[in-house]
Amino acid sequence: MKLIGMLTSPYTRRVAISLTEMGLEFEHVPISVFSHLAEFKALNPVVRAPTLFLDDQTMLTDSHVIIEYFDRADRSRSLWPESDADLRAAASVLGMAQTTCDKTVQLVYERELRPAEKQFADWIDRVTGQVNAACEQLESLVEDAPLWLEADRLNMAGITLSVVCTFMQNRIPDIWERGSFDKLNAFRESAEALPTFRRWPHASLAAPLAHAPLWP
């Protein structure tokens, strides 16, 4: 199997960590949807990261779909808690974490891709407010929700939450630090110390997004 995408992407990194925790072997091919646009387009004409090629060359896209495929293919690999109560709590965290991620990506694109004179201040304020509100919700949930399957092994909600928090810390540090999300940051630090997270660390950008071609 081959996982295509950069670890600057929280979606790609989430898949890499999840598949590793499931005990699956794959080759990571770090091709950027921005810096390596033509190369990525030759593999997936839609240019969507992450893209995963199975051994029979079936192409899977979208982090949710990729992870769910392997979860359904072998339930013994599942990264979800088993009890109904824990499942509900984990799903609540996962949904909010994924929403936070999507809104953070919107904000990053507005800030880093659009020229300063064309940025829409009202939209930036709206999305910033959504990110802050989501983080406040997560800060209140993090202690009560089950985030671990067992010692040193996070479940799907825990993996996603920690990846998203690290993405925010790196890409919107002004908002992350101003929010004083102490519980989230403590959880993020504990997750990033785990072997699987160290194996797939958040990467630095090779070049500013604004310098990359958007389409051929």
* Cα angle, residue 147 at apex, residues 142 and 151 outer, rounded to 5°: 130
Per the domain annotation, does 216 fall within a domain?
no
Look at the chain and report how many structural domains it folds into: 2
Residues 94 and 193 in one domain: yes
Backbone dihedral region for residue 23 (phi beyond 0: left; psi -120 to 50: alpha; all else: beta): left
Token digits of residue 47: 């240019």
Residues 157 and 186 in one domain: yes
Per the domain annotation, does 61 fall within a domain?
yes
Q: List C-alpha distances in Å: 6 to 10, 141, 170, 202.
A: 9, 29, 15, 9
CA nearest to 33, candidates 128, 123, 117, 109:
109
Domain containing 22 equals 2-78+201-211
Backbone φ and ψ of 48, nearest 5°: -125, 125
Per-residue pLDDT of the chain (216 residues), as tens digits, is 999 999 999 999 999 999 999 999 999 999 999 989 999 999 999 999 999 999 999 999 999 999 999 999 999 999 999 999 999 999 999 999 999 999 999 999 999 988 889 999 999 999 999 999 999 999 999 988 999 999 889 999 999 999 999 999 999 999 999 988 999 999 999 999 999 999 999 988 766 786 777 887
Backbone φ and ψ of 23, nearest 5°: 85, 20
* pLDDT for the residue 105: 97
